[in-house]
Amino acid sequence: MIIEGAIRPPGDKSVTHRALILAALSRTTVELRNVLTAADAKSAARVLRQLGVEVGPMQRGRPVLVHGRKWRAPEAPLNCGNSGTTARLLLGVLAGHRFEARVTGDASLRRRPMRRVTGPLTEMGATVMEDEGDCLPLTIRGGSLRRIRYESPVASAQVKTALLLAGLVGAVPVTVVEPVRSRDHTERMFQHLGFGLSVKGTEVSFTGAEGWPYAEPFELDIPGDASSSAFLVGAAILAEAGELLIESAGVNPTRVGYLSVLERMGARIVRENERILNGEPVADLVVSPSELRGTEVLADEVPGLIDEVPILAALASRACGETVFRSVGELRVKESDRLGLLASNLAAIGAFAQVYGEDLVVKGSDRPFSGRIDTARDHRLTMAFAVLGTHQAVSVQLSETGSAAISYPGFFQDLNGVVRDAK
């Protein structure tokens, strides 16, 4: 397989969610450029419309206009689809609104834990009524919030962001301390907008937002999604020849742990044209085919690459030697049991992969692989195994391909556009 050409990944999913929500709270018109138009982002736009916000059509390559205004009580449950980011960030904002809202999602989202967010929001003064256990659906009633200093037991950007958004809407100080620093898109956007926010190690403190909500219109540009870029990087590494240019990729240090891992595995990746876009670092990535060697991914690296473990594990199956992913148990509560499915699917095609407690071990091989992949409609599994299937010695049959649109609409079109048979 030969790889060649240039491609720009879709807008960053995490930044898109934050931009949509902050625009919706702004009470003015905000133009968002390079917005992700995947299913998760459209779920966020849909629930914002239910709350009285005017969100324009979301079409790839076109700006999205958001007319922020005072939120109103929804007339129907807020269905967040498959988007955990939408649900958890939304709960933070709703905590500061004096009305009742019911939040739900699809079957997958309804299995994902929510008390990591609703617990501290309750401490701040919100009322949360669960239907059953630590999951959706639930009903939240906002109110007058209290300041909080929260020491989170997990490094979670969604928890941190939910509390910072609650502090913004409730006009109260918020401090979040994490065991390891999680991705910092919210901090960067808050600082870009001029909010009072300080970061000291793993401690983030919001002190206020003078002049918010803004009266004057403004614009926000969304960088290319780091996680989506990872699949393109993987395809280039597995190629026999060629070179791929990935344009305007997000290279936020809290998001590109996967690049550090791949570089120490021997991947040939060059960053060019590094710059800052609305507080977010971006660069063009030039990636060449590479021979990889196994490595150990340490627990303190995992928060910065948790979404990239599927593609890293797929690449590790073709590396020389053993790769160990430490403390990746969080993968069990993603859109699927991503940890178990990674191991079982790799084994199903002839690779060695085993879960030991919270660790995943993958032994690389140069033998041919072939077999059927059960994606469980998990977009990151679908794309990871699709990329692995571009290798000359690998043949996979995916149980479905539609789930890729959850985070990367047009993934297969883009992938097919830059890879071709070496014959």
The active-site residue out of 40, 221, 307, 378 is: 307
The Cα 234–Cα 159 span in angstroms is 29
Cα distances (angstroms) measured from residue 11 to each of 35, 37, 68, 301 = 5, 8, 21, 24
β 369-373/394-398 pair status: parallel
Backbone angles phi, psi at 329, to 5 degrees: -60, -25
When computed from its CA atoms, the radius of gyration of the chain, rounded to whole angstroms, is 21
The Cα 181–Cα 178 span in angstroms is 6
Residue type, 371: G
DSSP bridge partners of 6? 245
The Cα 114–Cα 186 span in angstroms is 19
Specify whether the CB–CB gap between 28 and 51 falls below 8 A.
Answer: no
Is residue 359 among the annotated active site residues? no
Backbone angles phi, psi at 82, to 5 degrees: -100, 5
Active-site residues, by number, are 307
